[in-house]
Amino acid sequence: MILDVSALRKSFGHLEVLKGVDLKVRPRELVFIIGPSGSGKSTLLRCCNRLEEPTSGSIRVEGIDLMAPGVDINAVRRRIGMVFQSFNLYPHLDALGNVTLALRKVLKKSKAEAEHTGLHALARVGLAEKAQAYPNELSGGQQQRVAIARALALEPAILMFDEPTSALDPELVGSVLNVMRELRESGMTMVVVSHEMRFARSAADRVIFMDQGLVLEEGPPEKLFNQPEHPRIREFIASIEH
């Protein structure tokens, strides 16, 4: 088990956003999380590397308990790649600089070594020739692919995507999904929060439907999309796919 979340709860003040969520992700699995906005999908992802501090529950990444006192959170975080809706590239660094920063500062690689790894990661997302471009010189789709390369370069055990295509113009979505598809084929373990239902149908091993801070149902995409047990899910999918 790469990621093992159990009984996870998270409150913001009086608002309980996660009400006891379990999530298990096996190696090489692509798990898709869908659900209406406010259902706690993003919070779940953000708790998995403690960008949000969980209120209670347990999170294990490659067997390491993230909630244990004295855990080296920075060491665990670099095993969990994270891709954000708004890319969050560093605007003062070029694409290669974005990808190599953690290699140099966290993994303490030499400049040459970091750049070698960084260029390889950029090549995997098809942007080796944009290594010297600054984020403001790249399209949204390219920026998101650089962000994926930034996460990939650290050779994470799992990659988490928080609505990776929601901020993109429709014609740029495909390039990012293609990269994700290739990652899946290369055996990367991934958790994806997204509304790209067609991608979920074709690429996901498992789909999880969250509603109001709970997992309402989970299963293979054919099952969840075509014969969900809960009418709530059917409604949601109909509303997304028009």
Partner 1 sequence: MSRFADTFLNWTVMAQYAPKILEGAWVTIQIAVAVVIAGIASGLALAVLRAFRFRMASALIVLAVDVLRALPPLVIIILFYFALPAVGIQMSAWVATWLALSLVLMAFSEEIFWAGILSVPKGQWEAARSTGLDFFQTLRDVVLPQAVRLTIPPLTNRTIAITKNTALGAVVAVGEILYQAQSAYSFSYNPSPLLLGAVAYLILFIPVVYFGRWVETRFAWKR
Q: Which residues make up the interface to partner 1 (CB under 8 A)?
A: 49, 51, 74-75, 77-78, 80-82, 84, 86, 88-92, 101-102, 105-106, 135-136, 147, 150-151, 154
Question: Of 17 and 233, which CB lies nearer to partner 1 in the complex structure?
Answer: 17
- Of 151, 86, 143, the residue nearest 118 (C-alpha): 151
**What does each C-alpha distance from 165 to 86, 87, 134, 143, 219 come to in angstroms?**
9, 10, 20, 11, 23
Distance in Å, CB of 4 to partner 1, minimum:
19
Distance in Å, CB of 136 to partner 1, minimum:
5
d(CA 61, CA 157): 9
Question: Of 49 and 175, which CB lies nearer to partner 1 in the complex structure?
Answer: 49
Question: Of 9 and 50, which CB lies nearer to partner 1 in the complex structure?
Answer: 50
Structural element, H or E, at residue 142: helix 140-152
Distance in Å, CB of 149 to partner 1, minimum:
12
Distance in Å, CB of 111 to partner 1, minimum:
14
- Cα 140 off chain centre by: 17
Question: Of 12 and 90, which CB lies nearer to partner 1 in the complex structure?
Answer: 90
| Token output for 118 | 């960084």
